[in-house]
Amino acid sequence: MTEPSWTVVVPVKRLEVAKSRLRGALPGVPHESLALALALDTVRAVLACDAVAALLVVTDDPRVAPAVRAAGARVLPDVPDAGLNAALRHGAAAAGGPVAGLTADLPALRPAELGAALRAAADPGVRHFVADSPGDGTVLLTAPAGVPLDPRFGAGSAGAHAASGALPLTGGWPTLRRDVDTPADLAEATRLGLGPRTAALAVPSCPAAAPG
Ligand SMILES: Nc1nc2c(ncn2[C@@H]2O[C@H](COP(=O)(O)OP(=O)(O)OP(=O)(O)O)[C@@H](O)[C@H]2O)c(=O)[nH]1
Ligand SMILES: C=C(OP(=O)(O)O)C(=O)O
């Protein structure tokens, strides 16, 4: 059996301003409910991953914090108005041992794919990253114990992480690489298989059979 060792840090923006490119993607579904579901399905997969020892969620959102705490995560308050990379640095500083930053918009994530990526990153002394499905962004950044995470998320972050000395991980891992920024990304994640919270919003349920 694999010994869990990684602390995963997941930053979650306040829901009312999160995932702005997805606003209106699911007619009739409040935007904040969709953003919350994406984060909770990501968190659920992280907590089910056998390579993960602890999950830190960095957020100031009043709905996200209690929900992820109930699921088994530790919550750290955000650094006010400092953005995604500051949130990740803050979480990484609170972690001991190897640390991984993961985005909170991976509703199809399968625990086994995250575990395979973390095991592939177990190289002492070297940071690693997993690019998103298009290849220019980043979904996962890892640092071994004693090495700063040094996150450079944002537009073109795969190139920025490579330029900072992090090594790309090359596994397929379609559910790990499928971050959801746009309605087209959500459709692709639906094809891969959504986690339960997002599926409950995105996949129309069968109408009840007519009586008689
Ligand atoms: N804690 C925290 N998390 C953040 C912040 N900004 C972005 N994130 C998170 O970082 C991850 C990746 O960010 P993006 O994909 O750009 O998400 P976003 O900013 O919510 O989406 P857009 O509004 O569409 O750009 C998501 O999990 C966000 O919730 C921040 O300022 N603080
Ligand atoms: C935060 C990132 O970008 P996006 O908002 O496109 O997911 C990134 O890929 O580093």
Query: Which residue, by CA, sits nearest to atom 29 of ligand 1?
Result: 12
43 located within any domain: yes
Ligand 1 atom at minimum distance from 21 CA: 24
Q: Is residue 72 part of a domain?
A: yes
Q: What is the mean pLDDT of residues 127-134?
A: 98
What's 46's domain CATH number? 3.90.550.10
Would residue 88 count as lying in a domain? Answer: yes
212 occurs within a structural domain:
no
Beta-strand runs (E) in the chain? 6-12, 52-59, 74-76, 99-102, 128-131, 138-143, 167-168
What confidence score (pLDDT) does residue 212 get? Answer: 39
**Domain count within the chain:** 1
Nearest atom (ligand 2) to Cα of 138: 9
Give residues (CB < 6 A) around ligand 1: 11-13, 18-21, 58-59, 78, 83-84, 87, 103-105, 181
| Whole-number Cα distances in Å, 95 to 65, 73, 144 | 18, 13, 11
- Asked whether residue 127 is domain-assigned, the answer is yes
Which pTM does this prediction carry?
A: 0.95
Residue-wise pLDDT tens digits, 177-204: 999 999 999 999 999 999 999 999 987 6
Which residues form the domain of 64?
A: 6-199
Q: Is 154 in the pocket of ligand 2 (CB under 6 A)?
A: yes
pLDDT > 70 in the chain, percent: 94
| pLDDT mean across residues, the chain | 94
Share of the chain above pLDDT 90, in %: 91
Give a yes or no: residue 208 inside a domain.
no
Q: Is the CB of 179 under 6 A from ligand 2?
A: yes
The reply to whether 1 falls in a domain is no
